[in-house]
Amino acid sequence: MPAREDANAIRTRYPLSFLSLEGEALPVELTRLVWEAADHRTAVRCEITFEAEGHLVEAWIADERFHLFTDLVNAEPSFDLDEPVVIRARLRQSYARRIASSGGDSQTILAALLPGATEHTFLRQSECWLALELMQQIPLPDALASEGVVRHGLQTAWLQSEKAAAQPEDHTGHRKPDDARDETSGVASYSGAQTMLLERLLQQLNLRYEVFASDVVRLDIRTEIGSWRMLIHISESDWCSVYSVFPELVPTSAHAAVAVQLMNLNYDGPGGAFELDAEDGELRFRTSIPGAGSLSAGTLAAVLAEHRRIMERYLPQAGDWSKLS
């Protein structure tokens, strides 16, 4: 049974299907619907949130469903095909105005999306909706587990245009950028400022990255040897920790032997350490850098190069943990 947050928003968990222009069913689970309209002559907005399986979303991106045109997406998708992806989409303005002009609201939209609807059934067409962002939750190392939920994904030009329109204008009539801060307001947090510095350094190094929170940045590293996930965490104590996570888990039967091998590697290691999660077998290489607030591009490049050297050396041994030496 749908739960209303207020007069214009509904939370639910309801399976339904959109239809592509070719009549293909696109199964999703609707989780949220928001309707905002002063009257049908002014700006009307309807946004929905739904979940779909990763392998389906990958196909929809390839087929450009929900207006996911290649030149309007800010990153290449790298979703886990076996995990759900959360999608936010906005109803095209002309259709939203049509609903508003007939006195419709959030309940009207919901009724039209459900199976067996007889009115406004055009809303079930995938191309009535503009995908704003697609996000998927990713697991974090235990050291970052307390930092909250981290998601990765992509955003579209549809969302960026909304952000630009929502930015307040300054005294010259220009809109302020997203990262603008009033120095007297104290809005920008310490970790947020350090992450902004980290972003600038990554841009100088021409590296693609994603920011998940005010203190966590992710890079997906791909080389000829293999690929892995890298997380960079900025702490309030002015430390920058870099984690390279092996793509395979160490099986429980190999934990003891691998732990001994890692002790030997860490004993001789110059500036980093291997860590093995005894609960799930996740293996990662960590480097911690003091003075995150004064981090330079040269220092960061050296640390990332060392991570690449370490990972490329030991990735070929993944799956044969007895050779990790």
- 70-124 tens-digit pLDDT: 877 766 667 888 889 999 999 998 899 889 988 888 899 999 999 888 999 999 9
- 43-56 tens-digit pLDDT: 788 999 999 999 99
Angle at CA of residue 49, ends 46 and 52, nearest 5°: 140
| Higher-confidence position of 96 and 138 | 96
pLDDT for position 185 = 31
Nearest CA to 125 out of 33, 46, 21, 14 is that of 21
Contacts (Cβ under 8 Å, ≥6 apart) of 260: none
Arithmetic mean of pLDDT, 116-138: 91
Q: How far apart are CA 45 and CA 92, in angstroms?
A: 8
Q: How far apart are CA 286 and CA 250, in angstroms?
A: 17
Q: How far apart are CA 92 and CA 47, in angstroms?
A: 10
pLDDT for position 224 = 84
pLDDT for position 170 = 47
pLDDT for position 58 = 93
pLDDT for position 201 = 84
Arithmetic mean of pLDDT, 276-288: 88
- Give backbone dihedrals phi and psi of 41, rounded to 5 degrees, phi first: -90, -20
Q: Is the pLDDT assigned to residue 187 strictly greater than 60?
A: no
pLDDT for position 48 = 96
pLDDT for position 5 = 47
pLDDT for position 239 = 83
Q: Is the pLDDT assigned to residue 147 strictly greater than 70?
A: no
- State the helix-helix crossing angle for 297-314 and 190-204, rounded to 10 degrees: 70
Q: How far apart are CA 146 and CA 152, in angstroms?
A: 17
Q: How confident is the model at residue 6 (pLDDT cuts 50, 70, 90)?
A: very low
pLDDT for position 184 = 31
Average pLDDT, the chain: 80
% the chain with pLDDT above 90: 27
